[in-house]
Amino acid sequence: MGKGKRCRHAVGLWALVVAAGGCSGVSNPWVFDAPPAIGADEVLISARPGGTVIKIATFGDPAVAAVKWRNDVGSGMSEYLRRALLNETDFNVLIEPARAGRAANGPTSSEADYIVTGKVTDFNHTSLLSRKVARWGLLRRRSEAVVAIEFRVVDAHSGRVVAADHIYGTASASRRPPRKLYNGLDFQAYLFWSTPLGRASRQALGRVVHRIRQIVPSHSGESRIIAIEGLRKVTLVGGRATGFASGQEYLLYMSPPGTRKRSGPVYDAEMGRPLLVRISRVRKNSSTGWLLGQPPAGVDLRGAVLVRQTPDGSEKAATVDDSTALARGKSASDG
């Protein structure tokens, strides 16, 4: 075999290894993986006026884990979730008094809009479990690290559970015994995130953050869809306290207008015009409504923001003041 052909074979083999690594979640072998949100710019809680305040309660520990950690997995995962939400979203994250330090001017417990409770249910390697639990790979069952978090999002003002989910993350793992793989490694160590359980934890936390962003409005008073029943019935954050009234109609945006994250209005799949939601039943802090049209296929409307169209044709996210003004205007026109 010539030198050129050997080089091509080597390059092809390397590409195959990289591709396989990408599919199984293998990280860059030349750098250490970082914990969630490390390296982000400094964020001050007081710099987000009007932002929704979220309290992350301390999560429970898994009943079974790959190894016995010196630090509680549940409390550590809660802390990493707080950090991820603070640095990667527009939320104000409640800092407990014992953790506050210089952030004494941050939100207090009584100011929380939403509370997230939960438990780390899985923190293990499939190699330690029954073969039937492991997923199939190309030639045999995979060896993976699995981290799962069960959580609930509670409206702190009404006490109502607005969302409940069970989310997991996975990462490829060797068949080396976990007690040897993690020997001498602390759960809160930086190097933990370069391990299979660390990469699985990061994926699980990222999915939890994504789900919370779908459900919880980023600003107090902002109204959005939190649940969908069937094809067209929706449950909304916001009720009489928000100024909603039966019969009101709103546009839907997948992100608040006027931000760099704006994705534009959602369009009716059949008519090609902006999709509307009509309020049908109003409670104190929540409402139900109906989509006036066919939602686009493959689009998850959970988290879509309700937007009113002003008389000048512009759009504005529905807030307490906006909805109250709209309701008064409707009442005046009806009169």
Residue 67 confidence (pLDDT):
81
Binned at pLDDT 50, 70 and 90, residue 123 comes out as: very high
Tens of pLDDT, residue by residue over 29-50, are 666 777 776 543 434 443 455 5
Contact residues for 288 (Cβ-Cβ < 8 A; gap 6+): 233, 234, 235, 236, 279, 280, 281
Alpha helices, H only, the chain: 3-24, 73-88, 97-100, 178-181, 196-215, 320-334
Give kind and range of the element (H or E) at residue 93. Answer: strand 92-93
Tens digit of pLDDT for each residue in 234-253?
988 778 767 788 898 988 88
Residue 197 in this model has a pLDDT that exceeds 90 = yes
Instruction: Report how far apart, in Å, the C-alpha atoms of 123 and of each of 17, 34, 173 are.
Output: 27, 19, 13
From residue 194, give the alpha-carbon distance in Å to each of 75, 148, 162, 201: 20, 18, 34, 11
Q: What is the pTM of this model?
A: 0.62
| The pLDDT of residue 94 is above 60 | yes
The CATH 3.40.50.10610 portion of the chain extends over 30-215
252 vs 255: CA distance, rounded Å: 9
Residue with tokens 């686009």: 296
Which of the pair, 238 or 15, is modelled with greater confidence? Answer: 238
Q: For the stretch 266-300, what's the b/e string if a residue is b when 16 or more beta carbons lie within 10 angstroms of its beta carbon?
A: bbbeeeeebbbbebeebeebbbbbbbebebeeeee
What class has domain 30-215? alpha beta
What is the four-CA torsion angle of 227, 232, 237, 239, rounded to 10 degrees? Answer: -140
Range 209-224 average pLDDT = 78
pLDDT of residue 49: 52
Mean pLDDT over each residue of the chain, to the nearest integer: 74
On the question of pLDDT at 299 being above 90, the answer is: no
Residues 6+ apart with CB under 8 A from 96: 109
pLDDT digits (tens, 9 = 90+) for 309-328: 644 445 554 543 443 333 33
Going by the DSSP 8-state scheme, the letter that residue 266 receives in this structure is: -
What tens digit of pLDDT does each residue of 53-72 get? 899 999 999 988 878 776 68
Torsion of CA 212, 216, 220, 221, to 10 degrees: 170
